[in-house]
Every structure is written in C-alpha cells, then in structure tokens.
Structure 1
Amino acid sequence: MQKFKPQILTLKNQKTVTIREAEIDDAEKLLNCIKTYVPQSDYIPKLEQEIKLTIEQEKEWINYFLTNENSLLLIAEFENEIIGNIDLTGNRRKIMEHTAVIGMGMLKEWRNYGLGTALLKLAIEWAKENSILELLWLQVYTDNELGLRLYRKLGFEENGIMKNFFKQDGKYFDNLTMTINVK
C-alpha cells in the first residue's frame, strides 16, 4: 500500500525532480547516494567508513519504513538517479509512537536549490495527515546556519542544546534538538 503520492517539482536550478516513497528496489542506488553525501557534509554525524550497510541490510531498512505506519522514507530522483532522501523514523515504543525523528541528506551539487525545503515540507505534510504522529523532532549542529534557518522557517522550535555533543578531529560541536507539533 502506497503511503505517499509522488510529487514532481522544479527546483531553483530549473531542474525537475521527483519525490516519492522509497521502494525495496531502490536499495543499491540509495545506499550509493548516502555513501556519497555523508563525506560531503560537515553536519552529518557519521564518518564514511562507518557506513557498513550491505544492499540486503539497506533493503531491510527501506522495508522498515514501508511496514511501519508512523514512518516514511522519501527519495528525490533526477533522471533516474537518487539525489537525496528524508526519513521520518517513528518510535516503536507505545508511549512514544506519536513521535518521529527526522533524518535528511542530499548530494552536495543539489544543495541550496530548494530540495531540502521541499523534502521537509512534504514530510511534515505527510505527518500532519498521519493518524499516529503528533511530534516531529531532529537534531542539528548549532553552527549549521543553513539547516537552522530552514528548520525555523518551517516552524521548528528549539528545545535544548547538548554542549560538546559531537567531536570530530579534536573539535567539539553543540547539538540542538528541535521539534514541531503536527497536530
């Protein structure tokens, strides 16, 4: 059963992308996309060598989103290539199933063209229609100015900072938790 109706949109770079729900057959392309954008980002707290998923494990990961009502995995495609994704991972614990954490990433050459805004807006719209979800949350580096601007623009509120949460190359970064109510 399809949870999300595919959307076709034109970005600021005048390129047309399709945003749709990920399918099991997307596993290899999605894994390659993630393996490409993680080392391109200063704000994803994962190192390239830590991405050890096999294609089979990636298929299982995609299936998680397909089978859990409070979860969604969207991909952005351009000319049949995956260029980014967003996931809402709904909590499996009964007393927290009304919450989902957001993860998002995209290839460097697709940043600053409105793709992140489009992905996040569509995920929020889906969550508002979802009968289970009430609260979306995310974590962001406090010095990720572009990310912070996007999240604030779409209505996320700051909930607290964990100092020195991330440590990379001997340098510490603070982590901000942000939430948005969708009901």
Structure 2
Amino acid sequence: METKELKNGQIMTIREAMKEDASDIISYLNEVAGETDYLSFGQGEFAFSAAEEEKYIEEGAENSGSVMLLCFIDGELASVSQLIGHTKKRELHTSELAISIREKFWGLGIGSINMEALIQYAKNSERLKLIYLEAISENKRAINLYKKFGFIEAGEIPALMQVDGRYFDVTMMYLVI
C-alpha cells in the first residue's frame, strides 16, 4: 500500500486489488460507466458476477504481465487502473492498459499517478516489452496524458465504438518499455 498527495492536498491510497474487492469494483465500474461515453461499456453493462470478478482478480495476480490498482480517497474507490497481460505465448511480452477515474476526482492528478505506477510495474517486469491502449479519439484529455508518458499514436480506427447511435473513432497507442 502506498499513499500519494493529490493536487488539492487530499491523500490517496493505492494498492493492488484483492478478490475481496470484487463487489466494490463491479459497483464502481457500473457507476463510472455512466459518467462518460469513453469506456467500452455503459452504465450497468459491466456484467461480471462477484465470483467472476474474483476469478479475474486471482488470474491477474498470477499473470506477471498483469496488475490491477485501486485508488481510494477517504475510503471511497476513486480509480481502477490495470495492465492486462496476455496469455498467448506470442503475446506474453505485451499488456493492455486501462484506466478509469470517478468523475468527482477528475483533474486531481490521479491519471498521472496511475500511469507512473503502471509504467514502473512494466519496467520492473522482466516479461513486458510493450504496453498498448485504445482511446476514444475525441478524448483529448486522455490522449494528452498518454503522450505525456511517451505513448505513440499508432493509428485511428473509424467508428470503432457506438454509443446511443453516435459513432466514435478510436486512437490506438503504444509504449515500448
């Protein structure tokens, strides 16, 4: 467990997810998905059961290319971020990055803290050589964050996501470790 001071002076606690966090993570993700159209699922659409999420957390803990970090502010789950390591032999050196932050905590530096922690995890891993991600192209705040940490745009896929009849282009990005 680690603590960090945010831009507003609040203290955030960061730790790896445990299977006991499963229900809280599911609730958080279903709520956060209603705060933005920039996630790959909408409000109430994160359909894992608690048992499935527990299994996912346990499998991730056993995968040296994976880590799930939870950030808490005053006991409230403020952010979930992760590296999702691959299990296919030819892709074991890669991991997909995902970050979500509860809207009321946007702009406090949580994204940067998460990026630093995830990139450091990857650098400490003997396995990981490449991190990649997808970002909605109009989500300039996220894309600028990724660029700040050295991610490179690999290209754009038009209309990859559709939310309520609106299509979003997606920018693919990567970072060589």
Question: Shorter-chain-normalised TM-score: which range?
Answer: over 0.9
* Helix, strand or coil at the partner of 1:117: helix
2:42, 2:164 → 1: CA distance?
A: 11
Deviation above 2 Å: which 4+ runs of structure 1? none
Q: Secondary structure at the match of 1:174?
A: strand
In structure 2, how many angstroms separate the alpha carbons of the residues matched to 1:169 and 1:175?
16
Superposed displacement of residue 158, structure 1: 0.4
1:106-147 C-alpha deviation (Å, 9 max, x unpaired) = 111011100011011110011001010000000001100100
- How far has the Cα of 1:50 moved from its partner? 2.1
Deviation at 1:39, TM superposition (A): 0.9
Question: Is the alpha carbon distance of 1:150 and 1:111 closer, same or farther for their aligned partners in structure 2, counting shifts above 3 Å?
Answer: same
Out of 81, 85, 91, the position equivalent to 2:80 is 85
Q: TM-score if structure 1 supplies the norm length?
A: 0.93
Cα distance in 2 for partners of 1:43, 1:52 equals 18
Please state how far the C-alpha of 1:24 moved relative to its aligned partner. Answer: 1.1
Partners of 2:56 and 2:78 in 1: CA distance: 18
Matches within 5 A, 1:33-182: 33-182=28-177
Task: Summarize the Cα distance change of 1:49–1:37 in structure 2 as closer, same or farther, 3 Å threshold.
Answer: closer
Secondary structure of 1:113's match? coil
Aligned residues: 177
Structure 2, unaligned runs of 5 or more: none
Could you say what the CA RMSD is over the residues aligned between the two structures, in angstroms?
A: 1.1
Give the whole-Å Cα distance in 2 for the aligned partners of 1:81 and 1:47.
Answer: 21
Q: With structure 2 as the length reference, what TM-score do the two structures score?
A: 0.96
CA contact (8 A) 2:37 2:163 kept: no
What is the CA–CA distance in structure 1 between the aligned matches of 2:73 and 2:50, rounded to whole Å? 21
Moved more, 28-37 or 100-109: 28-37
Mapped contact 1:75–1:85 kept (Cα < 8 A): yes
Aligned sequence identity (%): 26
Q: Which amino acid aligns with 1:156?
A: F
